[in-house]
Amino acid sequence: MDPTLILILISVFIVSAISLVGAISLFLRHKTLEKFLFLAIAFAAGSLLGAAFLDLLPEAMADGAGAGMLIFTLLGVLAFFVMEKLLYWRHCHDEDCKVHNFTYLSLVGDGVHNFIDGMIIAASFLASVPLGITATLAIIFHEIPQELGDFSILLHGGFSKEKALLYNFLIALTAVLGALAVYFFAPHVQNLSSVLVPFAAGGFIYIAAVDLIPELHKETDLKRSALQLIMLICGIGVIWLATIFVH
């Protein structure tokens, strides 16, 4: 087997394993977990907005996506709206929906994002091994806060801790598919990236603005609302710092 392919696979599996960071919740008491989720949802909303506006869209602009970037971002928003409607019609009847639809949307958006991460890692290793290692480390630091946010969304949406951990890990493995796509079809993947990056950004914007932020508005206590605002800003800030490290 090609040594470069071995390095690529090891790197994407390590990045995928970051999704298991949510396992810390397995050791938290119920009340402690509720307090964690209260702040984590705000952090998750901030990290999704940060990832969209400070990471994915600037990346698309750097790749020369042009006006098409905005079109694919808008298509991402519309596609996630349609998916949420379909999920509601398929799974929910009035008050019988035990798992919120946005959990599935989060999984889809995270899957696209992880696929892109895998593409970045593979492309970097194909350029040079040192660049591949640097890209892998950058993505690891980038993924830790985002995976915590993704895991929090699944818990808040109604998943059990075990199910959320399993689903988050399985979705994280889409990074492997992205890496293999670049390795075997490198000449044809560049245009795919210019579509997937803004599309994923549109999905993240939809989830944050339509599903998570309205959840935050249900809190009316001034002190707790202020804490939510701080965590929202922290979510954006952590992604911003991670993005600076990446570049």
Do the Cβ atoms of 45 and 212 come closer than 8 Å? yes
Distance (Å, rounded) from C-alpha 87 to C-alpha 117?
Answer: 27
Residue length, the chain?
Answer: 247
Q: Is the pLDDT of residue 226 over 90?
A: yes
pTM over 0.85: no
Task: Give the residue among 117, 156, 103 at the shortest CA–CA distance from 242.
Answer: 117
Residue spans per domain, the chain: 3-8+30-246
Residue 65 or residue 210, greater confidence: 210
Encode pLDDT of 8-37 as tens digits: 999 999 988 887 776 776 666 666 766 777
Q: How many of the other CB atoms lie within 10 Å of CB of 245? A: 11
Q: Is the pLDDT of residue 162 over 60?
A: yes
Q: State residue 227's pLDDT score.
A: 93
Say what the pLDDT of residue 30 is.
61
Instruction: Supply φ then ψ for residue 98, to 5 degrees.
Output: -85, -25
- Please state the rounded mean pLDDT for residues 191-219: 81
Residue 139, pLDDT score: 74
Who contacts 175 (Cβ-Cβ below 8 Å, separation ≥6)? 12, 15, 16, 114, 115, 117, 118, 121
Residue 219 corresponds to which amino acid? Answer: E
The pLDDT value recorded for residue 2 is: 86
User: How far apart are the C-alpha atoms of 118 and 121, rounded to whole Å?
Assistant: 5
Least confident residue range of 26-35, 91-100, 176-185, 218-227: 91-100
119 pLDDT higher than 70: yes
Report CA torsion sign: 156, 162, 166, 172: positive
Count of beta carbons in the 10 Å neighbourhood of residue 133: 15
- Smallest CA-to-CA distance from 48 within 118, 105, 97, 122 is with 105
Is residue 193 very low, low, confident or very high in pLDDT (cuts 50, 70, 90)? low
Mean of all residue pLDDT scores within the chain:
79
Q: Phi-psi bin for 66: left (phi > 0), alpha (psi -120 to 50), beta?
A: left
Beta carbons of 124 and 135 less than 8 angstroms apart: yes
CA 122 to CA 129: how far, in whole Å? 10
